Amino acid sequence: MREEVPVHAIWLAQDDPKKNTAVRLSRRGDIKLHEKFNKLPRRGIILEPLCGKVLGPEDHSLLLDQGGSLVGLDCSWAHIEDSVSQVMKNTKLQGRMLPLLLAANPVNWGKPGKMTTAEALSASLFLIGKEDQARKLLSAFRWGEQFFVLNKEPLEAYSAAKSSKELVELQFEFFDIERPE
């Protein structure tokens, strides 16, 4: 198993770079930021919240054993549908979404699912067993540790899930959401 998973983000420049979490992580050397699709890794998982398939245990070996990279989609929530469509047409990476977690960033604090790119990447790393790398990413932000405090129980339960199906079911134990029919 690799020491650290390679972490990247595709940056669509839809928000203020001074406040952008992916830009900050890139400046620190924690992730590789891409403005062009053809520079993205060829193998791995891209986090995109509309795909309908959760990042589960079945995906871990792609990132941990098979040389895959973890890629965040850095765009504005206001443009999410167009952004996802544009990116997914231009990559062969496998799209995955995260199970429900609470945002700790100051803009969307406490809102389920409204995470920054840094929070999403960090949560993904935590779920695949790379807790140290996950915490290192969010240490760049004064609110970073709060993400782990807010989501302690779900993160621990999700990371212990044995299948994507189990992981999806666990969301209903932590969040008051309707089950799909």
Identify the domain containing residue 143 by its residue range.
7-174
Q: Is residue 12 part of a domain?
A: yes
Q: Using the predicted structure, report yes or no on whether residue 101 has a pLDDT greater than 90.
A: yes
Q: What is the pLDDT of residues 2-37, one digit of tens each?
A: 689 999 998 777 777 677 888 899 999 999 998 887
Q: Using the predicted structure, report yes or no on whether residue 92 has a pLDDT greater than 90.
A: no
The closest of 139, 124, 120, 125 to 28, measured between CA atoms, is 139
Residues across the chain: 181
Integer CA distances (angstroms), 70 to 10, 47, 170, 178, in order: 11, 8, 23, 29
pLDDT at residue number 181: 60
pTM check: above 0.85: yes
What is the distance between the alpha carbons of residues 101 and 83, in angstroms, rounded to a whole number? 22
Q: Is residue 150 part of a domain?
A: yes
Q: Which one is predicted more confidently, 77 or 132?
A: 132
Q: Is residue 179 part of a domain?
A: no
- The total number of structural domains that make up the chain: 1
Q: Using the predicted structure, report yes or no on whether residue 179 has a pLDDT greater than 80.
A: no
Where residue 157 falls among pLDDT bands split at 50, 70, 90? Answer: very high
Q: Which one is predicted more confidently, 160 or 52?
A: 160
Q: Is residue 181 part of a domain?
A: no
**Which of the given ranges, 8-12, 65-69, 147-151, has the highest pLDDT on average?**
147-151
pLDDT at residue number 48: 87
pLDDT at residue number 18: 74
Q: Is residue 137 part of a domain?
A: yes
Q: What is the pLDDT of residues 107-131, one digit of tens each?
A: 889 999 889 999 999 999 999 999 9
Q: Is residue 49 part of a domain?
A: yes
Where residue 71 falls among pLDDT bands split at 50, 70, 90? Answer: very high
Q: Is residue 2 part of a domain?
A: no
Q: Is residue 20 part of a domain?
A: yes
Q: What is the pLDDT of residues 163-172, one digit of tens each?
A: 999 999 999 8
Q: Using the predicted structure, report yes or no on whether residue 77 has a pLDDT greater than 80.
A: no
What is the distance between the alpha carbons of residues 31 and 155, in angstroms, rounded to a whole number? 22
Characterize the bridge pairing of strands 94-96 and 32-34: unpaired
